[in-house]
Structure 1
């Protein structure tokens, strides 16, 4: 970052930041559009309520970050959000495999395992192996790279 700023490539960083934010906004719009098309009137009111609640939470969070940014432990904040993203990835992977199996694109190999719909855990080997792989990746990234984390902090 320092090198990029000292080399006068501030416009490059600004462009990259714009593209990253634009991509996230585009994905959010696609998500809400798909949600809107697939629901009935009650589902649409729930989607609007969820969108409003999300905006309210983001406004409060933005105010907290701007107000207390000097004292806000950003390292812990991003660690917590990273963990949340891995949990969501594991849930979405399980639900995605289940949807592909339901559509007939992936074979189903049932096993004896508890089914937890809320967490995207279904008793089939394909989904559970993918979720296990993601869990092992998360553990490797968290515990397997301590030398790199220490070098990055220095």
Structure 2
């Protein structure tokens, strides 16, 4: 489920940016530049795939304690990168006009490279974020992600296309708020799991091994973290039936910092809107 939401969200963001640019080019009768947009998307996707292959190749060369350290670091990097991307999206989710002005400025100056870089960087940013997060999911939950990842991409492209064609309408602000909240919860779970891996490798102290242990004895029990219900909670929210003290502290600290920043930013925006 995580992989579906991640690829859907990231692909939808890319589709929105590409759609805004292509619609602007069509509206201003400059569709001849569409090839620049498609080239930027294609190259960024190719670079993202190469990055995924490199990370997968490097990860396959480790075992034992070294593997645990690598996995823990990868999860931490995923959380750091994802956090910056979530916060960036929150700050720029309404800036459609800025994108159009950027495109207009580049084309008026005959600076086609600027248009290419706008698309390339936007898509690559989402691509890197997706690669790191999906890698974190593979490491943390040891499961296949291909089917749901592809389904998320297809669904995002289809809905974005229908949106620009006027076939569907929905509240974009609510969509980004809900998906950002889910991604923050995913990231908190990855951070806690990365902490667990580094504790297993002896890099971080354990302090209290199990702050609580509510796992039923049988893994077939629905509420066990490997059970039907527990595994869903683990995938969505990083649920752990027997976490260490530092795992819990890292999880809560991440949520408090990111959600606190978000709430403070929204309040600042409301005050700015009132003062205008």
Q: TM-score, normalised on structure 1?
A: 0.68
**Are residues 1:137 and 2:257 paired?**
yes
* The one of 105, 112, 117 aligned to 2:211: 112
1:57-96 map, 5 Å: 57-68=155-166, 71-96=169-194
1:121-136 map, 5 Å: 121=240, 122-136=242-256
Moved over 6 A (4+): none
Aligned length: 146
The offset of 1:109, in angstroms, is 1.9
Deviations 1:78-105 (A, max 9, x none): 1111111111111111111112212222
1:33-44 map, 5 Å: 35=138
1-structure distance, mates of 2:115, 2:167 = 22
Q: 2:195·2:204 contact (CA, 8 Å) conserved in 1? A: yes
Distance 1:27 1:66, change over 3 A: same
Q: TM-score, normalised on structure 2?
A: 0.42
Q: 2:103·2:115 contact (CA, 8 Å) conserved in 1? A: no
1-structure distance, mates of 2:124, 2:211 = 44
Bigger mean CA offset, 129-138 vs 46-55 = 46-55
Structure 1 portions without partners, runs of 5+ = none
Residue of structure 2 in register with 1:99 after alignment: 197
The offset of 1:135, in angstroms, is 1.5
Deviations 1:90-125 (A, max 9, x none): 111111111221222211122533467414345222
Distance 1:142 1:24, change over 3 A: closer
Greater RCO (CA < 8 Å, at least 6 residues apart): 2
Distance 1:14 1:106, change over 3 A: same
The offset of 1:67, in angstroms, is 3.5
1-structure distance, mates of 2:193, 2:261 = 23
2-structure distance, mates of 1:51, 1:144 = 33
The offset of 1:2, in angstroms, is 7.9
2-structure distance, mates of 1:59, 1:16 = 20
